[in-house]
Each structure stands twice: as C-alpha cells, then as structure tokens.
Amino acid sequence: MAFLDELRDRAADAMQVTGKKVEEVYGATKVKLQIADKQSAVRTLYRELGEIVYENSKKDEPDFDAVEDKIAEIDLAFDAIEELKASERKIKNTVKCPACGEDVDKEANFCSKCGCEMSAE
C-alpha cells in the first residue's frame, strides 16, 4: 500500500513524536482500511445473496445450497471484521464495552457511549 507508506513518512516528518507513536498511527490506519474493505465486501455479498434469493423465487426447484454458501461467506467476512477490530483495539489500547460494543480506553472506568462500568482486568 504505497499510499500508506507515504502517509507514514509524512506523519514521521510532521509529528514531533516517537517512532512508536508513528507506527501506532500507521498500524491503526492500515487496520481501519482493511475493515472498510471487508465491510464493502459484505455489502457485495448481501447484494449477491439478494440476487440468489430472487432467482430462486423464479425457479421450480430452488437452490438452497447456493443461499447457504453465500450466508457462510458472509459469516466468514464478519469473523474477519471481528478479528481486525480486535487488532485495532490492541493497537489503540482500547477494550470493547461489554454492553454496547464501543471501543473504550483501557484505563477508563466507564464507557463513553453508554456509561456502562468497565471492569478492571
């Protein structure tokens, strides 16, 4: 990803911060883009699933395997998104709120979105 390399170099020049911080921003941006890619893939899969269901409605013998295969593909994409979000939380030093799923700073006592008390690990 040439764009990201460029971004990293610029960030290193522009910010008077340690190398660790630059790598953190670089890593978080990269993961964010990967998540956006996967979310876009899910939208494509949803559309394809819709086409399959529609075509099935016109058939005398519907192809349920095709529907199940597409749903399995969507499940895999969601699993991949969850994994990417987990690495994003690791990079950003946040944890997932057990109540609402928001990313909350590891040191925070309460969720900034729903106010749920964050238990110390």
Given the rule CB under 5 A, which residues bind Zn ion? 97, 99-100, 102, 111, 113-114, 116
Report the residue number, 106 or 113, with the smaller CB distance to Zn ion. Answer: 113
Report the residue number, 72 or 114, with the smaller CB distance to Zn ion. Answer: 114
- Minimum CB separation of residue 39 from Zn ion in Å reads 21
Q: CA dist 83 to 61, 87, 115, Å?
A: 38, 6, 25
Report the residue number, 15 or 99, with the smaller CB distance to Zn ion. Answer: 99
SS3 99: coil
Whole-number Å distance between alpha carbons of 116 and 54: 42
- Minimum CB separation of residue 106 from Zn ion in Å reads 14
Whole-number Å distance between alpha carbons of 109 and 6: 37
